[in-house]
Structure 1
Amino acid sequence: MDKGPNVTVVGGGTGLSVLLRGMKEETRNATAIVTVADDGGSSGRLREEFNIVPPGDLRNCLVALADTEPMMEKLFQYRFSGNSDLAGHSFGNLFITAMTEVTGDIEQALKESSRVLAVKGRVFPATTAKIRLSATMEDGTVVEGESQIPLVHKRIKRVHIFPHHVEPVPSSIKAIREAEVIVFGPGSLYTSIIPNLLVDNIADEIKKSKAIKIYICNVMTQPGETDDYTASMHVKALIEHGGAGIVDYVLVNNKEISAEMQEYYAQKGQYPVLVDEKAVEDLGVGLFKADIIDDSEMIHHDSMKLAQNVMKMYHTLKEN
């Protein structure tokens, strides 16, 4: 497990698991710090019923780092259908919930689940506190709940967690301190990445770290969250919430998106994120451009391209 640099990735949602899937091929020292602000779907229900942190994003990260049989991955991602109380729950979420009940501790539950899945790396929640996310919009209104924020389709000014002060998981702080590379994203800017920075000490530890700090910018805007956002606006939001020094470099896509694909996404209110290079550099952040997408059917970040470019940045910057 000593092969490759210490890489700590910070975020949530499906974007983080996409990066981890590629990262496990590049280093055996990958650690995920995962947001626990999710309050929708199966995770939200389990959170309320069992008073635990939402397991969904943690599950996706475990599966992404797993070195296991495809059947085990299928099992963990299997979602019950029908009209029973189990409908909508994924098996993996129920497994992590049961393991938390058995061990009495989410960190221990993730450790034991990692053994079952033969995970190459580590997965930690940012905090074990039951936090709620809210957003103050530019018009002054406040929207409560992570799942509700994108639905109001207003420009976000700032997001907050409640309680305002919560303890970080010590293992997450340790992972930041040991990191040679810290990567944010990819994923929802305000609901997956930034909530981690609002947990006490996490942003401070990242800023103090000598690691290379990379933000993977979204390729497309996200309706209700980053409408009309440029690359520099994504970076600016990170700095406003985490403070100066939170990010050193931004990795953006430079592969051209076909007119057909742009038209398809435009119908859903999504557009390519404009890379305003000078505005990014004016924020004191370096810019790296690369082909980091898979556009064969839809536009997604490509696991291997992402991981390889992060490693390329690490080696290039380390030499300089």
Structure 2
Amino acid sequence: MITRDLLKPGVNIKRWVLVGIIGIFLLFYGINEFINKKYLWSIKSAFPIFFIGIGVLILYIALMQIIKSFIILINIGNVDVAIDSKNFGDLIYEKRALVKGPKIVVIGGGTGLATMLRGLKKYTNNITAIVTVADDGGGSGVLREDLGILPPGDIRNCILALADTEPLMEELLQYRFKDGRLKDQNFGNLFLAAMDGISNNFEEAVQKMSSVLAVTGRVIPVTLDNMILKAKLQNGKIIDGESNIPKAALDYNSPIEEVFIEPIDAKAIKEALFAINGADAVILGPGSLYTSIIPNLLVREIRDALDKTKALRIYVSNIMTQPGESDDFCVCDHIKAIHKHAGCKVVDYVLVNVGKLSNELEEKYQKDNSNMVNINEKEVKKLGIEVIKSDFVKIQKGYVRHDADKLAAIILETIMEKKLFYDKKRIVEYFYLSQRLKEHKNK
């Protein structure tokens, strides 16, 4: 069964086996020449040493490609490798694959980011969430104004997404008061505000709350400065405040031309920069384009780090357009807006949805002037960006959301496929990640 799958057309294993045989032939030819001709270490020895080197190199490349093809076959379910999931498999996975899993940095804010984190934490412990602090609406806005702290809402959601807590604890921290002076306030926000009161700064408060809730990875605010988001509309109007921008764009019937922050020289937290520099992959989104994703790129040190990192840079496109922010935007328009504000290319791959909605749900969204984001693949490729397609649609309480498990699986598959050749020492971790991916696909 395994042999037949490995020899299928298009798998490329036959090709790399042949290349490996050529490498072995050159290797042994060189060794034989070196020994039998008794060149020892004279100038003439360069001839057999050259063949030995070429043989080793070709054999090495062939082995890496065979392993890569094998792992891809495991991912798509064509090869079944039996491991006792209750004993050896789980033990190795927990001790090796999670602890030494891919280093992933996610950048953004809002519910989309938290949703993705819930999926990613099943595959790696090495997650850093860099979260916007531009929010000034709702309960977060009230606490920001009353207590002078950075808005806790998006950070709280990311902490809970990565936390290892009982359902009751998560329900408590997500509880929103319904009456009295605390009406509409979230208990988790108050918890983080209290933690800020006994900490030296907001970053320390986030770390303490993360420790209490046994968070996988790290959650880091993009800056500790009191960042205010502003927007210039195409009609020239300047809008102050993240929560006011989409509404003003709709009221004035004028799209957003650009967004900017005050202070313009907001400083990034150093740990965020270290994480980006050492990452295997940096994920932008999913989330509101102008109010969740781009604000992070307006912190100069963050966009500079993204420009220089050797990590895979992946943008997760939204499934639906957002009224007041991305009306009639295709995937290409989203990426152009990101690059415009970053001042450089920060996206190498884009994950796009090809799943469909029911007619009833699509009509519901169209009544709110929201449509599915058009891919326009040719235009995206003109930007030098590779398009990765999948069905990410999940319906929750009548709303379209990204499926956390499917999204995480595609991200991990992309990292393994694109990074495996360069990370030879981590083949064992990639193998068990492949097993885990297959387990989730079979559920």
What is the TM-score normalised by the length of structure 1?
Answer: 0.97
Answering whether residue 201 of structure 2 is matched by residue 105 of structure 1, we say yes
Answering whether residue 395 of structure 2 is matched by residue 298 of structure 1, we say no
CA contact (8 A) 1:252 1:290 kept: yes
2:229 paired residue number: 133
After TM superposition, give the deviation of residue 174 of structure 1 in Å. Answer: 1.2
2:169 paired residue number: 72
After TM superposition, give the deviation of residue 257 of structure 1 in Å. Answer: 2.0
Q: Which amino acid aligns with 1:201?
A: E
Which of 254, 258, 265 is matched with 1:158 structurally?
258
Which of 411, 414, 422 is matched with 1:313 structurally?
414
After TM superposition, give the deviation of residue 116 of structure 1 in Å. Answer: 1.4
The CA distance in 2 between the partners of 1:201 and 1:216, in whole Å, is 22
Q: Deviations over 1:108-139 (max 9, x none)?
A: 11111112111111000000100111111112
RMSD: 1.1
Answering whether residue 135 of structure 2 is matched by residue 35 of structure 1, we say no
Q: Deviations over 1:177-196 (max 9, x none)?
A: 12110000100000000000
Answering whether residue 170 of structure 2 is matched by residue 170 of structure 1, we say no
Q: Deviations over 1:261-317 (max 9, x none)?
A: 211111111100011001111112111101112136431101111111111111111
SS in 2 for 1:139: coil
After TM superposition, give the deviation of residue 48 of structure 1 in Å. Answer: 1.1
1:86 paired residue number: 182
Could you tell me which runs of 5 or more consecutive residues in structure 2 were left unpaired when the two chains were aligned: 1-97, 422-443
Larger RCO (CA under 8 A, 6+ residues apart): 1
> Which 10-residue stretch deviates more, 214-223 or 170-179?
170-179
Answering whether residue 316 of structure 2 is matched by residue 219 of structure 1, we say no
2:240 paired residue number: 144
* More helix, by proportion: 2
**Of the two, which has the highest radius of gyration?**
2
Q: How many residues align?
A: 319
The CA distance in 1 between the partners of 2:211 and 2:419, in whole Å, is 33
SS in 2 for 1:60: helix
Answering whether residue 329 of structure 2 is matched by residue 229 of structure 1, we say yes
SS in 2 for 1:204: helix
Could you tell me which runs of 5 or more consecutive residues in structure 1 were left unpaired when the two chains were aligned: none
After TM superposition, give the deviation of residue 171 of structure 1 in Å. Answer: 1.2
SS in 1 for 2:408: helix
SS in 2 for 1:168: coil
SS in 2 for 1:201: helix
After TM superposition, give the deviation of residue 60 of structure 1 in Å. Answer: 0.2
What is the TM-score normalised by the length of structure 2?
Answer: 0.71
1:239 paired residue number: 339
The CA distance in 1 between the partners of 2:405 and 2:389, in whole Å, is 16
After TM superposition, give the deviation of residue 175 of structure 1 in Å. Answer: 1.1
Which of 119, 126, 143 is matched with 1:46 structurally?
143
The CA distance in 1 between the partners of 2:255 and 2:300, in whole Å, is 26
After TM superposition, give the deviation of residue 170 of structure 1 in Å. Answer: 1.0
CA contact (8 A) 1:72 1:117 kept: no
2:382 paired residue number: 282
2:25 paired residue number: none
> Which 10-residue stretch deviates more, 249-258 or 179-188?
249-258
The CA distance in 2 between the partners of 1:319 and 1:101, in whole Å, is 45
The CA distance in 2 between the partners of 1:312 and 1:78, in whole Å, is 36
Which of 108, 122, 127 is matched with 1:11 structurally?
108
Q: Deviations over 1:58-108 (max 9, x none)?
A: 0000000011100110111111111x2211111110111110110121111
SS in 1 for 2:243: coil
The CA distance in 1 between the partners of 2:382 and 2:145, in whole Å, is 44
The CA distance in 1 between the partners of 2:169 and 2:420, in whole Å, is 40
Runs of 4+ in 1 over 4 A off after TM superposition: none
SS in 2 for 1:25: coil
CA contact (8 A) 1:252 1:275 kept: yes
CA contact (8 A) 2:331 2:373 kept: yes
